[in-house]
Structure 1
Amino acid sequence: MVQSQPVQAFMTTPVQFVRPDTALTEVIRMLNASRISGLAVCDDQGRLVGEISAKDLMVRESGLEPGPYVVFLDSVIYLRNPLRWERDVHQALGETAAAIMNRSPHTCGPTLSLQEAAALLHDAGTERLFVVEGGKPVGVLSRADLIRAMAATAC
């Protein structure tokens, strides 16, 4: 039964990662060569500090949309969250993984059940969970890994 299986039984290893100072051209090359949609971002000690996905790269390619605004007394007032705007600017102009990575990576532990991991993936609306022990990624559990686990138990 899939729900009682731990994440570590179906996670993908090794974890592909980049450093925060990795150039975006290298990130794109790695994503394309590996045919994956996201990478871990790890510091010099191997600790997970972020994740970068194809979705993060889309902001860079699609450009910035200033969003709704009003003009009042010759001033332009943007009706957009300034913190979100600042993040979008960094993503659009950044040249390294650190500039566009998500600094709150989606994670779980290796002993978490697949059922709980599926709920995390669904609730977060993400494609993957980085499986972490001691702050370091030891595997990745993707939606495809969950399907593989379901297929293995259906046979």
Structure 2
Amino acid sequence: MSKTVADIMTPNPIVARPEMPLKEAIKILAEHQISGLPVVNDGGKLVGMISVTDIIWQESGVTPPAYITVLDSVIFLESPARYEKELHKALGETVEEVMTKEPIATITPNKSLSDAARLLNEKRVHQLPVLDEQGKVIGILSCGDIIRTMAEG
């Protein structure tokens, strides 16, 4: 019988709260050597993900959008909204200000490992929050979990 997400996921994962100071989330990621945390509300429901990619904005800074001026008018050559979003991440001090609010992908515990691997590949993410029927985070599945399972053979 093939394994399911429930068989290899990490149950009861470390989670972040939206109001958590960003420095605390960074410390958790570093101490546990993980690349991201599910962000949950008071009811344990997933409201976002905070990943090292989100946090890197703090160090990398933000490049203003290219623009030209014509007769005292500024014309942006790319979306200023993207710049505002990047700036918000670069200056954020809480998890909520920096997290990705709409997680790209989630999975349920009854899915097969091949379904999970396909989803990880399609969405180009390194981990999937595992949600129960009520949308509560009950586990996390990472690429490393699948690789370890494959190695055990």
User: Deviation per CA, 1:36-65, whole angstroms, max 9, x where unpaired?
Assistant: 110111101111100000000011211110
* Residues in 2 aligned to 1:121 and 1:111: alpha-carbon distance in whole angstroms: 16
* Structure 1 gap ranges (5+): none
Identical-residue share of aligned pairs (%): 44
CA contact (8 A) 2:65 2:80 kept: no
Root-mean-square deviation (Å) = 1.3
How far apart, in 2, do the equivalents of 1:138 and 1:26 lie?
22
**Which residue identity lines up with residue 17 of structure 1 in the other structure?**
V
| Shift in Å, 1:135 | 1.0
How far off its partner does 1:77 sit?
Answer: 1.9
Amino acid corresponding to residue 102 of structure 2 in structure 1: S
- C-alpha deviation, 1:73, in angstroms: 1.5
- TM-score normalized by structure 2? 0.93
Structure 2 residue matching 1:49: 3-state secondary structure: strand
Q: Indicate whether 1:95 and 2:83 are aligned.
A: no
Letter in 1 for 2:108: G
Matched residue type, 1:9 = D
The question of 1:129 aligning with 2:128 is answered yes
Aligned to 1:67: 65
Alignment of 1:3-152 (within 5 A): 4-105=2-103, 106-133=105-132, 134-152=134-152
Q: Aligned partners of 2:124 and 2:147: how far apart in 1?
A: 16
Residue 14 of structure 1: CA displacement?
2.3
Structure 2 unaligned blocks of 5 or more: none
State the 1:23 CA deviation.
Answer: 0.4
| Distance in 2, Cα, partners of 1:26 & 1:63 | 20
Report the secondary structure of 1:20's partner residue: coil
SS of 2:11's equivalent? Answer: coil
After TM superposition, give the deviation of residue 90 of structure 1 in Å. 1.2
Residue type of the partner of 1:82? P
Instruction: State the Cα distance separating 1:17 from its structure 2 match.
Output: 0.6
Cα separation, 2, equivalents of 1:107 and 1:98: 19
